[in-house]
Amino acid sequence: MDNPNNTVTLNEENATLHNPGTDTAAENTSGRTFKDFLFRSKHSKLFIWLTALAIILEFIVFKYFYPSAGFIDGDSYVYIETAYGNFSINTYPIGYSKFLRLFSVLTISNTALVAFQYLMIQASSLLLVLTLSYFYKPGKITFVVLYASMVFNPVFLFMANYVSSDALFLSLSLTWFATLIWILHQPNKALIYLHAFLILLAFTVRYNALFYPVIAALAFIISRQSWKMKVIGIVSSMILIAGFMWHTGNQYKRLTGIRQFSPFTGWQMANNALYIYRFVQDEPPPKMPKKFAALDKAVRRYFDTTRNVFVHQQEMFIANTWYMWDPKSPLQRYMNRQFKKDSTATSLKRWASMGPLYNEYGSFLIKKYPLKFAQYFLIPNSLKYYAPPVEFLDTYNMGKDSIAPIGQMWFGFESRKLKMHFKDLKVNVLNFYPILVGVMNVIFVFSLIGFVVLKGFRYNKPLSYGLLLAFGLWVVNCGFSVFASQIALRFQMTPILIFFSFGLLLIDYVWRAAFNKL
């Protein structure tokens, strides 16, 4: 990732400024390459070996207590089913299933899969830390805290231990953001191609990456390169994503007769709407199009028969996804009634066929009750975004001691019963994380205020540009997550790690500026 001779960098642009904060950031790239930064220190090789040793020892100890990979009901088995059948579409994005199929060519060992996923997370997180350190040169204490928080992060182990897209998506996302930092400060053609490829991979794994080109566009616009290269960088990733969406839409049209990119969106929209609709059941029903009449009648009948929340405890959930997946939910029941006479329809066809109707129905209800949507969905989801719940990571294998037959077949387990060293499958080591994330969010905001007060945006341009990317990610991710997505710790690890990293960099700047140590 070294800069070609004909490229002007942000650091070089600001190297002439006299403020020491700017000079410190600029010194990072003047006179030494990233390779020099990594290997030319007399202690660097020892540091790298100690890091590798720590990561290996962590994994060995972890696998002693949790010897088998964990499975999420529904998610994990759908990924395996898709990989086994080499399907081009299914309930979830196909990227992780393609990864599983490719990995199975090498080995079917679940331990090898978990190890590879763990190493991917560690490699990408350390790439981010080293990239930030190379360009922004934090103090030694800040660097050690940042580095150790990645190497010894317990969440990485538990995420990697699940047969789920979480680990792959996290590693791709962190690598993508690190690439953006390079594009920001040392752009070149190779990085543009790498960036487009990373975004495509991330998008095939999880559709949350749909907003990544927005953040990337900001990086390309700010970067010091020709407008031709900026446009190529911005448009290339969009073209690749659009191509994948077109291909996926063709597959769903062939299956259901209706062009749509993701039925998941429709189910999510209807699910979110029902979490507000149940609170207006005592009001007269709204006037709605005839195409919603039968569905709305089924939904209102369900809510009318589940008023006793002590009997129907699922109705205590707030801003959840229960209505999407549980067989007892009105959405699932209505789908089954629609295909009652069609025994040939596969589960995927039934599920996908309902996407457009549910999308329109959910949108109608949300537009009809915008204040209720804010009160009963947006505000609770905002609180979850502030302190994401641990969710499935709080138990090993979702609290079960066995797996489904397809999981046993794919990984070649001798038995469906998993090996384990605990009778209690509860995981308590991550209980502190929601509180920690909440505290980190507060620290990030106050350190940002300190950065502004001390005129950091004026005197430390390189860090300011990186901070602009991080803040842009925070705003866009917050909007996407709060309005349209389920919020849980495993889904929010990418922004959490990025905000934490920049929070430490801001604290480091404020501390050194306050004591004239810049």
pLDDT in tens, 19-62: 333 444 444 455 678 888 888 776 778 888 999 999 999 999 99
DSSP labels, 190-224: HHHHHHHHHHHHHHHH-GGGGGHHHHHHHHHHHSS
Mean pLDDT of 107-111: 97
Check: CB of residue 249 under 8 Å from CB of residue 259.
yes
**Residue 120 pLDDT > 50:** yes
C-alpha 482/C-alpha 436 separation (Å) is 20
Same domain, 239 and 278: no
Q: For 460, phi and psi rounded to 5 degrees?
A: -125, 75
Note the pTM of the prediction, 2 decimals. Answer: 0.91
Give the lowest-confidence range in 129-133, 334-338, 437-441: 437-441
Mean pLDDT of 162-189: 97
Look at the chain and report how many structural domains it folds into.
Answer: 2
Question: Does 178 or 12 have the greater pLDDT score?
Answer: 178
Same domain, 170 and 309: no
Does 283 reside within a domain?
Answer: yes
Does 121 reside within a domain?
Answer: yes
Same domain, 362 and 433: no
Q: Say what the pLDDT of residue 125 is.
A: 97
Task: Please write the tens of the pLDDT for every residue from 193-236.
Answer: 999 999 999 999 999 999 999 999 999 999 999 999 999 999 99
Residues 6+ apart with CB under 8 A from 370: none
Neighbours of 334 (CB within 10 A): 21
Residues 6+ apart with CB under 8 A from 254: none
Mean pLDDT of 347-352: 95
Same domain, 284 and 212: no
Which two tokens mark 401? 């001691």
Same domain, 216 and 286: no
**Residue 185 pLDDT > 90:** yes
**Residue 439 pLDDT > 50:** yes
Same domain, 76 and 181: yes
Task: Please write the tens of the pLDDT for every residue from 357-375.
Answer: 999 999 999 999 999 999 9
Which two tokens mark 29? 């790239």
Q: Say what the pLDDT of residue 518 is.
A: 58
Same domain, 120 and 196: yes
Does 391 reside within a domain?
Answer: no
Q: Say what the pLDDT of residue 1 is.
A: 55
Same domain, 348 and 227: no
Q: Say what the pLDDT of residue 29 is.
A: 56
Does 388 reside within a domain?
Answer: no
Same domain, 204 and 86: yes
C-alpha 487/C-alpha 500 separation (Å) is 18
Q: Say what the pLDDT of residue 309 is.
A: 86
Does 396 reside within a domain?
Answer: no
Looking at 347, 371, 395, the residue that finishes a domain is 371
Give me the domain span that covers residue 284.
Answer: 263-371
Give the lowest-confidence range in 36-45, 165-174, 220-229, 335-344: 36-45
Same domain, 294 and 203: no
Same domain, 134 and 196: yes
Give the lowest-confidence range in 21-30, 137-146, 382-391: 21-30
Does 385 reside within a domain?
Answer: no
Does 58 reside within a domain?
Answer: yes
| Closest to 278 in 3D by CA, of 329, 322, 315, 227 | 315
Give the lowest-confidence range in 18-27, 49-58, 251-260, 304-313: 18-27
Mean pLDDT of 404-420: 92
| Closest to 91 in 3D by CA, of 159, 158, 165 | 165
C-alpha 319/C-alpha 317 separation (Å) is 7
- Percent of the residues in the chain that have a pLDDT greater than 70, as a whole number: 93
Give the lowest-confidence range in 169-183, 237-251, 334-348, 413-427: 413-427
Q: Say what the pLDDT of residue 27 is.
A: 43
DSSP labels, 429-450: TTTTHHHHHHHHHHHHHHHHHH
Q: Say what the pLDDT of residue 9 is.
A: 45
Question: Does 43 or 299 have the greater pLDDT score?
Answer: 299
- Percent of the residues in the chain that have a pLDDT greater than 90, as a whole number: 74
C-alpha 56/C-alpha 128 separation (Å) is 20
**Residue 7 pLDDT > 60:** no
Q: Say what the pLDDT of residue 230 is.
A: 95
| Closest to 119 in 3D by CA, of 72, 198, 58, 45 | 58
Check: CB of residue 246 under 8 Å from CB of residue 267.
no
Same domain, 75 and 118: yes
Does 199 reside within a domain?
Answer: yes
Q: Say what the pLDDT of residue 199 is.
A: 97
**Residue 410 pLDDT > 90:** yes
Q: Say what the pLDDT of residue 270 is.
A: 96
Residues 6+ apart with CB under 8 A from 187: 7, 9, 223, 224, 225, 229, 233
Residues 6+ apart with CB under 8 A from 83: 97, 98, 100, 101, 104, 410
Asked whether the CA dihedral 80, 83, 86, 92 is positive or negative, the reply is positive
Q: Say what the pLDDT of residue 30 is.
A: 56
**Residue 5 pLDDT > 50:** no
